[in-house]
Amino acid sequence: MTGAAPAGDDIADRVAAAVIAVPGVAFLHGGVFGEIGTYLPGRRVSGVAVRDDATEVHIAVTTDSVVRDTADAVRRAVRAVVDKPVNVLVEDVVPVDSPQAGSDPSESSEPGGGTPAP
């Protein structure tokens, strides 16, 4: 992979950066209960599970994308970073103008999601 590596430069960070760069990906999806992720010292990369035998990526796509084409593009992007099978799971489809697009709702720090009140 070329270019500057994300902070931490862990393989999970590189996979996440490659996935988010794919057109049609709204966000990496951490799963219904936030169970999908790679744990690193002091933080978590949501929606990416790096395993010995394969890499699993969970995403939400935008309504203006073709789901199969977006998943294939994600698979190709991740294969440029890892040398093992890549499994892509589409967890959700969100409107392009949705406030969810660009963030993982399972990563909210507030119970029930949203932002804290002032």
**What's the pLDDT band for 26 if we cut at 50, 70, 90?**
very high
CB 28 within 8 A of CB 61: no
* Across 51-55, 102-106, 108-112, least confident range: 108-112
CA dihedral 56, 18, 76, 43 (to 10 degrees): -10
What percent of the chain clears pLDDT 70, i.e. is strictly above it? Answer: 75
Question: pTM for the full model?
Answer: 0.78
**What's the pLDDT band for 113 if we cut at 50, 70, 90?**
very low
Rounded distance between C-alpha atoms, residue 101 and residue 25, angstroms: 8
Q: Which of 54, 52, 60, 45 is nearest to 14 (CA)?
A: 45
